[in-house]
Chains A and B, each alone.
Chain A
Amino acid sequence: MSDDFGYLGARVRARRAEVLPEGFFSEAARVGFEDFLRLLAESPYGDYLTGRDLPGVDRAVSEQFAHRVADLPALASGDAREAVRLLFLRADLANLKAILRAKATGRPAEEVRARLVGGTLPEPVLQALIEAPDAAGMAQALVVPGHPLAKALRQAAAASSDPYEVELHLDRAFFADLARRAAAVGGPFAAYFRAEQEIANLATAFKLAALGGVENPERFFLPGTQYVTLPLFLRVAGGDLAAVDELSQTPLAELAGVRSLSALERKARCLLLERAHRGATDALGPGLVLDYVRTKEWEGARIRLLARRAYYGLPPEAVEKEASCP
């Protein structure tokens, strides 16, 4: 597989030069919206900046990501392509769920199309998904291009006809499939996805705790996690947030002590970013790509956040905690 990643690694190393330096963010955190746009126009995002408003910034971020990051699976072949594709499956999952929701609430196709994010699904497949009559029909449309989520969607559609349950099944099947495929790749790549699954379980438990009790909380648990076990998940979901402190002796020790979902997400974001950075040394595997993709995602989120801060004229301290990782 190392040969498959050789060319891809070289392309990624060249593109890493375009990653915005920390200096950009520290300057962007202090300026007004006009100056922010000027800074962005001077960066690699400048070519994609068409409007001088927030949607214009959002468009520039997503288009830059689509051109400089989302095309990576197309630059590889074989096993490397399948491994890199895993990094973009989340966008496919988001698209499938958007289409499922629109079908359940009877929204028109044009409205759905406007809400779809990048992902790996080609245009004709997306069109077939939108035109499919139901979830089973969508699963059928995914089978033809051999998409990894086809089986998950088929299982979800077979398990329930309630759109909410289908979405829940799809999420569970997605994570199970992702864990299996990432484990087959191994190395820092697999470790990253394991950490992501642990954090997904913990975040779900916090969300359940915020709802104040849900029937059968275990159906929200993603099996196979080593540190966020089912008993710990159930305790946190039941409102015992201090149970998180049990993670203090594990590789997820940074998360011990959090008591709110927003604090958890903030720490988890930084922890996952650090795990992805570990992959940067994996020049002959997908780790380098993983690091690049997650770095670019984080860069996009920071640009969107700082653009909003500047647009609404908030002080730098208002977003300081959210926009940086210690």
Chain B
Amino acid sequence: MEQISPTRMALLQKRNQKKLAEKGADLLKKKRDALVAEFFELVGSALASRERLSSAAKEAYLALFLAKAFDGPAEVEALALGVPPIEQVRAEVENVWGTKVPRFEVAWPERVMASLIATGGQTLAAQRAFRDFAEALVAVANTETRLKMIGEEIKKTTRRVNALEQVVIPGLDAQIRYIRQVLEQREREDNFRLKKIKSKMEARAAEAAREI
């Protein structure tokens, strides 16, 4: 235990600290409950995003499979030459119960340069399917990053609550108990001393009365 001066001032200080720690633990518990609620709400959408990603991937690769078979691998890959590079990926930071969570926004190219006349239908279908796949991938990145960060924050908050409830508050309790014991002991000693003085004074007064 740290060096504590067992004074009334210290006792008041420790009591205030305990009150503050209890209030902090309450607030952290409320934050944790809110984060857990948010987490479970996100789990549903994360599962839906994963399912969408998996079906988009299946569709995209099947479309690519047919496009490469019928339109030829080189012609399909030549279409990719007309895909302008993604100009911007923006990460907006949202505040969820004090946790900074990024949300990715991709500026997808408006139009891929391919004439509809001579480009094979399977190739165009593959192109559309891969755009859906890329969008589903970003959606999964958004929900799973959010989920991961909220999960980390729940763990951190739980650790803090545990530290307050199991270490800080019991520590303060022990300190308060110690100060109180010391002060009570001091009070008892003072009482004893006063009683002793009083009895001595009474004995002296009785002796003086006898002499007179």
Contacts and interface: CB of A to CB of B under 8 A. Distances in A.
B73 interface: yes
Given A98-B81, A200-B117, A261-B125, 6 more contacts: A98-B78, A115-B74, A116-B78, A207-B121, A312-B65, A322-B69
B75 interface: yes
A94 B75 contact: yes
A206 interface: yes
Interface string B90-107: 000000000000000000
A308 B118 CA distance: 24
Contact of A301 (B65, B69, B79): B69
Given A101-B78, A111-B81, A203-B121, A164 B73 contact: no
The 6 tightest CB contacts between A and B, nearest first, are: A101-B82, A98-B78, A305-B69, A171-B117, A304-B69, A101-B81
A45 interface: no
A164 B115 contact: yes
Contacts of A302: 69
A200 B118 contact: yes
B72 interface: yes
Interface in A100-140: 101-102, 104-105, 107, 111-112, 114-117
B192 to A, nearest CB: 94
A90 interface: yes
Chain A CB count within 10 A is highest, among B70, B81, B114, for B81
Counting contact residues on chain B (CB < 8 A from A), the size range is 20 to 34
A72 to B, nearest CB: 18
Contact of B73 (A58, A168, A208): A58
Contacts of B80: 115
A278 B38 CA distance: 68
A93 interface: yes
A271 interface: no
Nearest to B79: A101
A264 B84 CA distance: 30
13 contacts: A62-B74, A97-B115, A104-B84, A105-B84, A117-B78, A167-B115, A168-B116, A172-B117, A175-B117, A262-B125, A265-B121, A301-B70, A312-B65
Contacts of B74: 62, 94, 115-117
Interface of B: 65-66, 68-70, 72-75, 77-85, 111, 113-118, 120-122, 124-125
A174 B118 CA distance: 10
B171 to A, nearest CB: 63
Given A62-B74, A94-B75, A308 B69 contact: yes
A204 interface: yes
Given A94-B75, A116-B74, A117-B75, A105 B116 contact: no
Contact of B113 (A58, A163, A211): A163
A220 interface: yes
Given A117-B72, A167-B115, A261 B84 contact: no
B117 A115 contact: no
A105 B120 CA distance: 21
A177 to B, nearest CB: 13
A236 interface: no
A28 interface: no
Contacts of B85: 105
Contacts of A200: 117-118
Given A308-B65, A322-B66, A105 B115 contact: no
A83 interface: no
Contacts of B69: 301-302, 304-305, 308, 322
A170 interface: yes
A319 to B, nearest CB: 8
A304 B120 CA distance: 16
Given A105-B83, A171-B117, A206-B121, A58 B78 contact: no
A264 B75 contact: no
Chain B CB count within 10 A is highest, among A101, A164, A170, A206, for A101
Contacts of B114: 101, 164, 167
Interface in A149-183: 163-164, 167-168, 170-172, 174-175
A195 interface: no
